Amino acid sequence: MRILISAVSSARSPSGICRHAASLARSLAEARQSEHVTLLLGPWQASYFQHAFGLRHTKLHVVTVDVRSNSFDRNLWYYRTLPDLAREYSADAVHLSFPVPLARRRFSCPVLMSLHDLYPYDIPGNFGAARVLFNRAFLRQCLRESDAVVCSSDFTRARLRSVESQAWHKAVRIHQSVAVNPNRGHMPSIPEISGRAFLLTVAQHRRNKNLALLIAAFAGLRECDESKRRMRLVIIGAEGPETRTLRATITRHSLQQHVVLQKALSDAELCWLYRNCALLIAPSSIEGFGLPVAEALHCGSRVLCSDIPIFREIGGSRCFYFPLAHDNPAIVLSNAIRSALHEPAAELPAFNRFSPAEIAQQYIALYSRLIAGDGPLLPEADSIRYAGYAS
């Protein structure tokens, strides 16, 4: 089986989508059923993919394509050039790591897409008034043209039904895999945390991540608890629409020496942070999956999440939760941090349902069905239902 994965995006540092594409490529290359895996990247992506993810395998071929980084050229490349590359590499299936303009009729093999979230509909502020319209159009077009839609969670698959009911019928849920190795951590160069306890969050600077709320809660924690004055808050993630707001919030609370904003780290460095943080905090209002939560639990971290359905799906009883719906959520979060810091981390499960090998086999089964012309649904996918979770 020869799989072509396209991950050409605007990202110039590791993002959640980049991590998904890299982990998918690596795990498929290690599967015995795969003959060859090709990962397509933009020229601006090659260096950080190799540095952050260490993509080395005899069956994995990383190809840097000839395309410029602006959105017009990238979208045109997906529509016009990707089908030619699929034929050139004799792909049995093409996997789009996120929604893009798709000319399905030009492919001679099945094409499937990963759907991480429905942010163009759920959080239009992440895109801006003009861009969100294009993102919605591309999303709908790709959903309709793809042979299968792989949702990263039951929650995302349920949301898809309300946005594009026709695509929902060819959607399956395959969780993202957790590829970090707890035994291969490497301390990052962050002088501010040397010899100090620190709180950690891993999130892009976007509105749904509620990072300004976290900073305000951290300020409250330091004010009401003298023992936490030496503690640091480390925020790992690419800059985005909320970066200016975050910096202003840090300044307003006089936390310039206590909050660390770091753009990107390697998997090994991130793993070290998971293993050594006092608490991993995920205060999001909505997510498509929540990879940092799954990774942190895999590394043995103590984890505190907002009480939203997707985190219940991923973390279950192994996380601590706090409610977002409150008149003063910063105080609620601050108190939740204090409480969680006094609790032990959850024990590691005997079976890792997010292991790369387990997830790779689910993809192999899906690819095999599509190649055989049997349709996208796996036997268990017909029964997937999202019943919601108590909050």
pLDDT in tens, 99-135: 999 999 999 999 999 999 999 999 887 777 778 888 8
Cα–Cα distance, 26 to 187 (Å, whole number) = 24
Least confident of 167-171, 353-357, 378-382: 378-382
As a whole number, mean pLDDT of residues 69-75 equals: 92
The pLDDT, as a whole number, for residue 379 is 44
Does residue 390 or residue 215 have the better pLDDT? 215
Roughly what angle, to the nearest 10 degrees, separates helices 16-30 and 356-371? 80
pLDDT at 376 over 90: no
What's the mean pLDDT when you consider all of the chain?
Answer: 90
As a whole number, mean pLDDT of residues 59-71 equals: 94
As a whole number, mean pLDDT of residues 321-329 equals: 92
Task: Report all structural domains of the chain as residue ranges with CATH numbers, in order of start.
Answer: 2-177+356-383 (3.40.50.2000), 191-340 (3.40.50.2000)
Does residue 195 or residue 213 have the better pLDDT? 213
pLDDT at 385 over 70: no
Split at pLDDT 50, 70, 90, the class of 166 is: confident
Three-state secondary-structure class, residue 4 = strand
The pLDDT, as a whole number, for residue 12 is 83
The pLDDT, as a whole number, for residue 377 is 62
**Can you give the three-state secondary structure of 82-124, one letter per residue?**
HHHHHHHCCCCEEEECCCCCCCHHHCCCCEEEEECCCHHHHCH
As a whole number, mean pLDDT of residues 174-178 equals: 93
The pLDDT, as a whole number, for residue 180 is 85
Task: Give the model confidence (pLDDT) of 211-231 as tens digits.
Answer: 999 999 999 999 988 889 999
pLDDT at 387 over 90: no
DSSP labels for 265-330?
Answer: --HHHHHHHHHH-SEEEE--S--S--HHHHHHHHTT--EEEE--HHHHHHHGGGSEEE-S-SS-HH
Cα–Cα distance, 94 to 113 (Å, whole number) = 8
The pLDDT, as a whole number, for residue 93 is 97
As a whole number, mean pLDDT of residues 50-71 equals: 89
The pLDDT, as a whole number, for residue 319 is 95
The pLDDT, as a whole number, for residue 386 is 33
The pLDDT, as a whole number, for residue 365 is 94
Cα–Cα distance, 138 to 79 (Å, whole number) = 11
pLDDT at 174 over 60: yes
Cα–Cα distance, 391 to 321 (Å, whole number) = 9
As a whole number, mean pLDDT of residues 179-205 equals: 90
How far from 105 is each of 75, 77, 97, CA to CA, in Å? 17, 16, 19
As a whole number, mean pLDDT of residues 274-294 equals: 95
pLDDT at 389 over 70: no
Q: Could you tell me what percent of the chain has a pLDDT over 90?
A: 70
The pLDDT, as a whole number, for residue 330 is 95
The pLDDT, as a whole number, for residue 353 is 87
Task: Give the model confidence (pLDDT) of 250-262 as tens digits.
Answer: 999 999 999 999 9
pLDDT at 297 over 50: yes
Cα–Cα distance, 175 to 314 (Å, whole number) = 9
The pLDDT, as a whole number, for residue 143 is 95
pLDDT at 149 over 70: yes
The pLDDT, as a whole number, for residue 230 is 92
Max Cα distance, the chain (Å): 65
Cα–Cα distance, 21 to 23 (Å, whole number) = 6
The pLDDT, as a whole number, for residue 382 is 40
The pLDDT, as a whole number, for residue 384 is 36
The pLDDT, as a whole number, for residue 388 is 35
